[in-house]
């Protein structure tokens, strides 16, 4: 986000929306459940209200399995120009939870969900947290925004509160944060109340209640099982909080203490309980922000109709439009309200650059020799959420394993230490600059992704592509896709790996449902349809193939050996070898075997035969002869293992298990030396192949993770979604 103007108004705060809950009492995912007259979800009403209250950016915390569903629902909001990003809450975390406890399925809770959003918050100043399945009302967001803009001295957090009885459900017990107030209006302590309900016969509550009626107490229990009885008018926090960035290290420390206490497999790290502990033990001052009436929520299926009726009434009264994401959300009164409190809205370009990884189906270690390959863009992506900067600096953050970095664009040629992820972003910038693109503006942003890293699926090239697209968009420049792929292939070699141009072309030119025949000299991409009824399975060898250090040296050694072998047999190009007729090709191979040292002879044979296998594989794919395609995959793996020396025992074992279970073909994919294998199987055999890999390969090694074994489909190429 751009820095505010010289009047020292604070940056507009971020709203973190917690949407990773399992909705066990509701019976289905309720975060996206249509509830408004126009089909809007409570999540969308939260964004609408918070936007009008002055919030400038939104981070949704979701489970990884929900990501695609949420991305689809975010498109109308992004199309309305709203700055949105996703963060995934997982059971594992590189710094906090390296290995999930056995049997743990339940998410770690609301406190941990905030930590999952940390990389999107560090540079954004004040932020709020809310639940995706609650309706808080615009008044609550306005009061919280004002509190965050001008906090009383010493206040580091805020809790928005409501009258407890007005938040209960007629359909069962609920969980609430019960607040006790100090004389100065700050929080004394907060207790997590579970299974809360009115004691005895329920009496009317809420807007239609008789003001003179004495409402019964509310009863329930604490997480430890202790009984609770409190007054119906007690203040309850419904999960709407305000914080400043210095709360994040405190949350991290508290979560470590929570883990050290060996929690049960269903115990949760509650945000409310954590804030209360910080207030009591560390004297963190938390202000209370009463919001009056207006909260509504969906805990049980029966709650849905009441909330829908309320929203319909509010819409009829003019508080909301039927369609939340028409252009009125950017009306001048909203802009003026935001500018008066938080400074003018962002004007420079921004958005999300999304680039897919790739699977190479056949044609390994031959792109850098100028021979055709047959990959497809992978339906797993690198996402770079960015905003343009007025100055020529790149400032990016990743997850905890890929920390923040910054560099000036006029110094993009200066590398970070080998293996540092910033080198791929620097390569993208350097490639554009070398190509003559004027980069007047830099970018600030956050990188996330679902492409497994160092697994031979081209996560690094996807990062290069996403970075280049973000820089082009920020500077309002364009480069044609094939031209961009070629310049980025050259630029990525500055990282130290002397690769070819397959990965960048596949990421930029992918087409859903198609493999890609990629030719070089000149670069050309030809989509090839993949027949229906067949599945690609990706299986990790559980050995990372980092293209730094030893793997980089082995990779570059193979490229040098190929060049030497070609020169020593007196040929000018590998295309000349590959395109020879059958008799001449056999003569060339025999001559190479006789004249070259054993290692170079084997390298020569792999490149020459692999190029011809690509041509045959394309023919098989177009003819829907997948059995023939599988046999070519098997031959490719044997060549990579025996002649090129890039397989490993683990990759060989995966390939063998998959074939024995019915796969038509299997081979390592990517550079080798670890990473992944790809198996081709009919849809009817897919389950058996997956189960065989789990039982035969992963179970003896401690089990399989979400990113280690998965189905893959062909994806469209990289894109920038504007904000």
Which of the listed residues 531, 559, 579 is the one where a domain comes to its end? Answer: 531
Q: Are residues 312 and 412 in the same domain?
A: no
Check pLDDT > 70 for residue 208: no
What integer pLDDT is reported at residue 350 of this predicted model?
85
Q: Within a domain: residue 413? A: yes
Check pLDDT > 60 for residue 351: yes
The residue that leads in pLDDT, 66 or 505, is 505
Check pLDDT > 90 for residue 306: no
What integer pLDDT is reported at residue 8 of this predicted model?
43
503 is catalytic: yes
Intra-chain end-to-end CA distance of the chain, in Å: 12
What integer pLDDT is reported at residue 575 of this predicted model?
94
What is the distance of C-alpha 67 from the center of its chain? 7
* Nearest Cα residue to 707 out of 671, 676, 666, 665: 676
Check pLDDT > 70 for residue 699: yes
Q: Given the residues 266, 503, 660, 713, select the one marked as catalytic.
A: 503
Check pLDDT > 60 for residue 98: yes
Q: Are residues 286 and 357 in the same domain?
A: no
Check pLDDT > 70 for residue 58: yes
* Cα–Cα distance for residue pair 179/434, rounded to 1 Å: 60
pLDDT band at 9 (very low <50, low <70, confident <90, very high): very low
Q: Are residues 465 and 390 in the same domain?
A: yes
Q: Are residues 264 and 374 in the same domain?
A: no
Collapsing DSSP to helix, strand or coil, 532 comes out as coil
Report the pLDDT averaged over residues 528-543.
Answer: 95
Check pLDDT > 60 for residue 456: yes
Q: Are residues 429 and 486 in the same domain?
A: yes
Q: Are residues 266 and 382 in the same domain?
A: no
Q: Which two tokens stand for residue 114?
A: 């905030």
Per-residue CA distances from 163 to 188, 290, 295, 568 (Å):
17, 9, 9, 85
Q: Which two tokens stand for residue 556?
A: 């570059």
Q: Are residues 252 and 300 in the same domain?
A: yes
pLDDT band at 401 (very low <50, low <70, confident <90, very high): low
What integer pLDDT is reported at residue 85 of this predicted model?
86
Convert the pLDDT of each residue in 31-48 to its tens digit.
778 888 888 889 999 999
Convert the pLDDT of each residue in 152-193 to its tens digit.
888 989 999 998 988 998 888 988 888 888 877 889 888 888
Check pLDDT > 80 for residue 707: no
Q: Which two tokens stand for residue 211?
A: 């003001």
What integer pLDDT is reported at residue 283 of this predicted model?
79
Residue 442 domain boundaries: 350-531
pLDDT band at 330 (very low <50, low <70, confident <90, very high): very low
Report the pLDDT averaged over residues 607-630.
Answer: 97
The CATH number for 499's domain is 3.30.230.10
Check pLDDT > 60 for residue 251: yes
* Nearest Cα residue to 503 out of 607, 416, 427: 427
Report the pLDDT averaged over residues 133-137.
Answer: 90
pTM of the full structure = 0.57
Q: Are residues 363 and 274 in the same domain?
A: no
Q: Are residues 296 and 356 in the same domain?
A: no
Non-local (6+) Cβ contacts of 240 within 8 A are 128, 129, 130, 131, 134, 136, 140, 144, 159, 160, 291
Q: Are residues 260 and 400 in the same domain?
A: no
Q: Within a domain: residue 125? A: yes
Torsion of CA 108, 111, 117, 122, to 10 degrees: -140
pLDDT band at 651 (very low <50, low <70, confident <90, very high): very high
Percent pLDDT > 70 in the chain is 90
pLDDT band at 408 (very low <50, low <70, confident <90, very high): very high
Which of the listed residues 493, 515, 531 is the one where a domain comes to its end? Answer: 531
Q: Within a domain: residue 101? A: yes
Q: Are residues 302 and 390 in the same domain?
A: no
Q: Within a domain: residue 507? A: yes
Instruction: Answer whether 565's CB lies under 8 Å from 700's CB.
Output: no
Q: Which two tokens stand for residue 457?
A: 């699926």
What integer pLDDT is reported at residue 28 of this predicted model?
46
Report the pLDDT averaged over residues 597-625.
Answer: 97
The CATH number for 304's domain is 3.90.550.10
Q: Within a domain: residue 112? A: yes
Q: Within a domain: residue 43? A: yes
Collapsing DSSP to helix, strand or coil, 130 comes out as strand
Q: Within a domain: residue 698? A: no
Which of the listed residues 531, 566, 587 is the one where a domain comes to its end? Answer: 531
* Cα–Cα distance for residue pair 206/36, rounded to 1 Å: 20
Per-residue CA distances from 359 to 363, 428, 514, 652 (Å):
11, 21, 12, 18
Question: How many structural domains are present in the chain?
Answer: 2
Q: Are residues 23 and 109 in the same domain?
A: yes
What is the pLDDT of the chain when averaged over all its residues?
A: 86
Instruction: Answer whether 199's CB lies under 8 Å from 125's CB.
Output: no
pLDDT band at 18 (very low <50, low <70, confident <90, very high): very high
Range of lowest pLDDT (268-272, 456-460, 482-486): 268-272
Q: Which residue has the tokens 């980092």?
A: 546
Instruction: Answer whether 218's CB lies under 8 Å from 227's CB.
Output: no
Q: Within a domain: residue 95? A: yes
């Amino acid at each position: 986000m751009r820095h505010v103007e010289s009047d020292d108004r604070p940056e507009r705060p971020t709203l973190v929306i917690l949407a990773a809950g399992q909705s066990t009492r509701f019976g289905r995912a309720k975060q996206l459940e249509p509830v408004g007259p126009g089909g809007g979800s409570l999540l969308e009403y939260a964004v609408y209200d918070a936007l009008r209250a002055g919030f400038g950016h939104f981070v949704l915390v979701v489970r990884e399995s929900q990501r695609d569903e949420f991305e689809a629902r975010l498109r109308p909001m992004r199309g309305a120009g709203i700055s949105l990003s996703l963060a995934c809450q997982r059971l594992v975390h590189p710094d906090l939870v390296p290995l999930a406890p056995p049997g743990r399925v339940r998410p770690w809770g609301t406190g941990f969900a905030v930590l999952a959003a940390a990389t999107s918050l560090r540079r954004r100043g004040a932020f709020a947290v809310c639940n995706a399945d609650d309706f808080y009302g615009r008044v609550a967001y306005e009061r919280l925004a004002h509190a965050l803009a001008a906090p009383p001295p010493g206040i580091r957090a805020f809790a928005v509160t409501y009258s407890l009885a007005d938040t209960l459900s007629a359909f069962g017990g609920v969980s609430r944060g019960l607040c006790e107030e100090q004389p100065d209006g700050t929080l004394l302590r907060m207790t997590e109340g579970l299974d809360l309900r009115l004691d005895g016969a329920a009496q009317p509550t809420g807007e239609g209640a008789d003001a003179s009626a004495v409402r019964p107490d509310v009863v329930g229990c604490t997480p430890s099982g202790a009984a609770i009885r409190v007054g119906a008018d007690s203040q309850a926090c419904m999960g709407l909080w305000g914080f400043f960035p210095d709360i994040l290290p405190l949350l991290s420390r508290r979560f470590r203490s929570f883990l050290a206490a060996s929690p049960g497999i269903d115990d949760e790290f509650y945000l409310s309980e954590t804030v209360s502990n910080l207030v009591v033990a560390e004297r963190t001052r938390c202000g209370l922000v009463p919001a009056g009436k207006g909260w509504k929520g969906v805990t049980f299926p029966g709650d849905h109709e009441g909330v829908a009726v309320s929203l319909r009434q509010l819409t009829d009264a003019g508080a909301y439009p039927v369609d939340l994401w028409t252009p009125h959300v950017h009306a001048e009164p909203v802009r003026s309200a935001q500018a008066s409190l938080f400074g003018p809205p962002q004007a420079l370009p921004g958005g999300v650059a999304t680039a897919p990884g790739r699977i190479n189906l056949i044609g390994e270690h031959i792109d850098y020799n100028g021979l055709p390959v047959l990959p497809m863009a992978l339906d797993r992506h690198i996402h770079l959420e960015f905003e343009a900067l007025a100055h020529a600096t790149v400032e990016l953050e990743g997850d905890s394993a890929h920390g923040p970095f910054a560099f000036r664009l006029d110094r993009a040629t200066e590398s970070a230490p080998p293996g540092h992820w910033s080198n791929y972003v620097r390569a993208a910038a350097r490639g554009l600059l070398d190509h003559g693109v004027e980069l007047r503006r830099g970018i600030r942003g956050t990188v996330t992704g679902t492409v497994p890293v160092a697994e031979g699926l081209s996560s690094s090239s996807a990062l290069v592509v996403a970075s280049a697209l973000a820089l082009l968009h920020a500077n309002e420049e364009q480069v044609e896709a094939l031209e961009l792929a070629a310049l980025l292939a050259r630029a990525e070699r500055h990282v130290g790996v002397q690769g070819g141009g397959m990965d960048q072309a596949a990421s930029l030119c992918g087409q859903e449902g198609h493999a890609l025949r990629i030719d070089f000299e000149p670069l050309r991409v030809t989509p090839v349809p993949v027949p229906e009824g067949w599945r690609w399975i990706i299986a990790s060898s559980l050995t990372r193939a980092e293209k730094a250090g030893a793997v980089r040296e082995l990779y570059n050694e193979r490229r040098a050996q190929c060049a030497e072998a070609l020169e020593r047999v007196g040929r000018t190009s590998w295309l000349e070898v590959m395109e020879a007729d059958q008799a001449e090709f056999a003569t060339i191979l025999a001559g190479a075997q006789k004249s070259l040292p054993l290692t170079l002879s084997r390298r020569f044979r792999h490149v020459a035969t692999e190029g011809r296998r690509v041509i045959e594989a394309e023919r098989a794919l177009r003819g829907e002869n997948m059995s023939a395609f599988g046999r070519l995959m098997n031959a490719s793996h044997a060549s990579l293992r025996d002649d090129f020396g890039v397989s490993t025992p683990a990759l060989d074992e995966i390939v063998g298990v998959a074939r024995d279970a019915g796969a038509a073909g299997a081979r390592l994919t990517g550079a080798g030396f670890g990473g992944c294998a790809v198996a081709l199987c009919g849809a009817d055999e897919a389950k058996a192949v997956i189960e065989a890999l789990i039982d035969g390969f992963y179970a003896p090694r401690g089990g399989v993770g979400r990113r280690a074994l998965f189905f893959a489909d062909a994806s469209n190429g990289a894109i920038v979604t504007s904000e």
